[in-house]
């Protein structure tokens, strides 16, 4: 369905304006699908992303600073997302011995098992599936990269 019909707005100033609305709308649509997929595992998308970053580091620990660097959303509050993962025993927090200001965050066996379970379930593929060909996906990547070329 075209964006005009999705949001019941017949006219846009120009194609750029429309692309921006379309982009934000489509991103929301995707994120809703992802959130939906994670819900049966009692995880949110940011929680899932942090678990994946921690698995990437495992068995090394990560600091909050490293999580922020790797997260899509730089300004999100990693500290509080880790709070929730810690409550669920999916990660541990220990004071870093070599720098007692920092905190070593590690994924637990339960966290690793949960990631495996999610990946086996195939919900990722379902949520990520989009009706684009390989070439179209590549084209989309190029356009998005170019779009951000203003800095």
Partner DNA sequence: TGCAAATATATGTACGTACATTTAATGTCG
Partner DNA sequence: CGACATTAAATGTACGTACATATATTTGCA
Instruction: Count CA within 13 A, CB hemisphere, residue 68.
Output: 10
Residues 105 and 92 sit within 8 Å (Cβ to Cβ):
yes
Give residues with Cβ within 8 angstroms of 75, minimum separation 6.
Answer: none
Q: What is the closest distance, in whole angstroms, from the C-beta atom of residue 82 to DNA in the complex?
A: 6
Residues 5 and 25 sit within 8 Å (Cβ to Cβ):
no
**Per CB under 8 A, 21 contacts its own copies:** yes
Q: What is the DSSP letter of 143?
A: H
Which of 10, 14, 80, 98 contacts its own copies by CB under 8 A?
Answer: 14
* 116 contact, one of its own copies, DNA, none, CB 5-8 Å limit per kind: none
Whole-angstrom distance, CA of residue 72 vs CA of residue 90? 21
* 11 contact, one of its own copies, DNA, none, CB 5-8 Å limit per kind: none
**Per CB under 7 A, 94 contacts DNA:** no
**Per CB under 7 A, 44 contacts DNA:** yes
Binding site for DNA (CB under 7 A): 28, 31-32, 35-36, 39, 44, 46-47, 63-65, 73-77, 79-84, 93, 96, 99-103
């Amino acid at each position: 369905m075209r964006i005009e019909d999705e949001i019941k707005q017949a006219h846009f100033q120009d194609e750029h304006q429309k692309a921006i609305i379309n982009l934000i709308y489509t991103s929301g649509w995707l994120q809703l699908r992802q959130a939906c997929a994670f819900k049966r595992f009692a995880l949110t998308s940011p929680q899932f992303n942090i678990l994946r970053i921690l698995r990437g580091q495992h068995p090394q620990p990560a600091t909050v600073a490293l999580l922020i660097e790797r997260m899509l959303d730089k300004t999100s509050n990693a500290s509080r997302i880790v709070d929730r993962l810690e409550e669920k025993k999916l990660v541990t927090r220990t004071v870093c011995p070599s720098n007692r200001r920092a905190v070593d965050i590690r994924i637990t066996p339960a966290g690793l098992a949960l990631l495996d379970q999610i990946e086996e379930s195939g919900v990722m593929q379902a949520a990520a599936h989009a009706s684009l060909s390989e070439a179209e996906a590549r084209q989309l990547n190029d356009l998005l990269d170019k779009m951000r070329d203003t800095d």
